[in-house]
Structure 1
């Protein structure tokens, strides 16, 4: 990883970490799936003229282009955010960010299921189970709100699975579109899928939304900063660094999410969430022990 890539990596972590607190603000006035849909409506409208002005090709032509756009739009944009926004109705910003730490644990398992990595062994299964145990600890259901706590954890975990699947499957494509040129179509696909979901999910109508200044500000921030800026960075770095390295992003985001949640929303990250995050880290280390050991043993002039 070059210094430039490292700087962009940290910038992306800060951008997406702050987005958790902004999402909580928006959810005070907007239904979650509609909130996500409106975010990507605006992101697509802004990204299209920007990509054209920069001379990027934005129209998918080949089957690889369409696979890249559809998989990214449906999984990384649509399903991931529908589940994540819904889950944040029940869990704090930092807890949601910590739960997404499972992405680096499940990504290797999905890579192997997709046939892009070595076979799964007993130790790999143990690592994944340790990571799942971390989710249970992080959820830490309140006896008075056991159903709500479990529901929030399950929704955010589902969003982690969707994101990991999107990373693995888009990485297997070989599109002619670059990351910037693909964004308008990818956002549009995600927005259409999210709007379709609002038709079948109860309480997701425009009548249920209150377009207050804070809600409009949340939509703008999530669309332009976390959306256009963040996702452009993500897909550029994904092509440069691959799913494994980008999965590590989820271990850098929680401190930024905790800080912004504490500063703006007076949220606290409890001891159980820290313990659960530690279990997720252990699970990741077990699953990716070979690559981690190789990285530790690499000479400074050859390690990337």
Structure 2
């Protein structure tokens, strides 16, 4: 990934709209953790990823066709492909499989290590700066991740599959954000989101036979949740995220996702009656504290 300097626009009158876009994203992404758990009863991880991305790609493609927005320059294609593979392809499959092993709230807490990684990558690759608190914040967040891993493991020492896959999702999420940021200075958020979603769907095409087989046995609830995931947490939330990201720094936008874990935990409790283990909640608090500390001074 090439080192890139990104100029962040100064605050403008659009700031309330940017905040609204960020909050929309956070709320819909929190609901996705619940939706994935629900749809996972009918669909395997890869099949669900493909179905969700196909729905999102179709919805976004229709909007792009109506608005006739221009495509990105050829020079941006490699970066766009990387964004699509990391954030829409690998991330979705890893998270879907992870939520077969951990509850929605725990998954959200683990994935929310992503903002710390975004801060590190943005400092290295986008020259957004390195506050001194970043190192301490990373250490605290890592300790929280270890604590969650112990809380959700089978023997108390080795993190389970769900924990490791959530960390894979966090890494690919961070890589996707930092890869996406420079693209938004030259192309509309809608176009970037649509193309990245389409690339992610293409990455998941090997799961097409599984999806076809599982569709016939899927319940109405599973189909409804899959459609919801494609339209709302994917098509809408990723577009509002890209819009907000185009108006601020990658590190600062990453900090808005601190709200996702508590929202996802609350939604998981309301829908499934599930709550993370007490030790995992303590680890989640450490993750959020470390992430907040890492963002101080930005």
| 2:112 aligned to which of 101, 125, 138 | 101
CA drift at 1:25: 0.8
Unmatched segments (≥5 aa) in structure 1 = 292-304
Aligned equivalents of 2:179, 2:154: Cα separation in 1 = 40
Aligned equivalents of 2:154, 2:181: Cα separation in 1 = 43
CA drift at 1:204: 5.0
| 2:143 aligned to which of 117, 126, 133 | 133
Aligned equivalent of 1:258? 265
CA drift at 1:184: 2.6
CA drift at 1:289: 3.5
CA drift at 1:149: 5.5
May I ask how many residue pairs the two structures share in their alignment? 284
Aligned equivalent of 1:47? 60
Mean CA deviation greater in 111-120 or 241-250 = 111-120
Aligned equivalents of 2:31, 2:184: Cα separation in 1 = 32
Aligned equivalents of 2:219, 2:198: Cα separation in 1 = 25
Aligned equivalents of 1:55, 1:205: Cα separation in 2 = 31
CA drift at 1:110: 1.7
* Contact 1:105/1:280 (<8 A) preserved: no
| 2:244 aligned to which of 233, 237, 240 | 237
* Contact 1:32/1:204 (<8 A) preserved: no
Q: Structure 1 residues 94, 112: closer, same or farther in 2, change over 3 A? A: same
| 1:168 aligned to which of 159, 170, 178 | 178
Aligned equivalents of 1:108, 1:173: Cα separation in 2 = 18
CA drift at 1:177: 2.4
C-alpha deviations, 1:98-143, integer Å up to 9, x for none? Answer: 112211111122223326244697x644432221110111233456
Aligned equivalents of 2:100, 2:128: Cα separation in 1 = 36
Q: Structure 1 residues 148, 223: closer, same or farther in 2, change over 3 A? A: farther
| 2:98 aligned to which of 87, 91, 95 | 87
Unmatched segments (≥5 aa) in structure 2 = 1-10
Q: Structure 1 residues 220, 244: closer, same or farther in 2, change over 3 A? A: same
| 1:189 aligned to which of 190, 199, 203 | 199
TM-score, scaled to structure 2: 0.85
TM-score, scaled to structure 1: 0.84
Aligned equivalents of 1:225, 1:258: Cα separation in 2 = 19
Mean CA deviation greater in 79-88 or 48-57 = 48-57
Aligned equivalents of 2:156, 2:99: Cα separation in 1 = 15
C-alpha deviations, 1:149-207, integer Å up to 9, x for none? Answer: 621011011101111111112213466321112333221100111224x38xxx95643
Question: What is the RMSD computed on CA atoms of the aligned residues?
Answer: 2.6
* Contact 1:67/1:173 (<8 A) preserved: no
Aligned equivalent of 1:63? 75
Aligned equivalent of 2:213? 207
* Contact 1:68/1:175 (<8 A) preserved: no
* Contact 2:106/2:284 (<8 A) preserved: no
SS at match of 1:252: helix
Q: Structure 1 residues 124, 14: closer, same or farther in 2, change over 3 A? A: closer
Aligned equivalents of 1:69, 1:138: Cα separation in 2 = 33
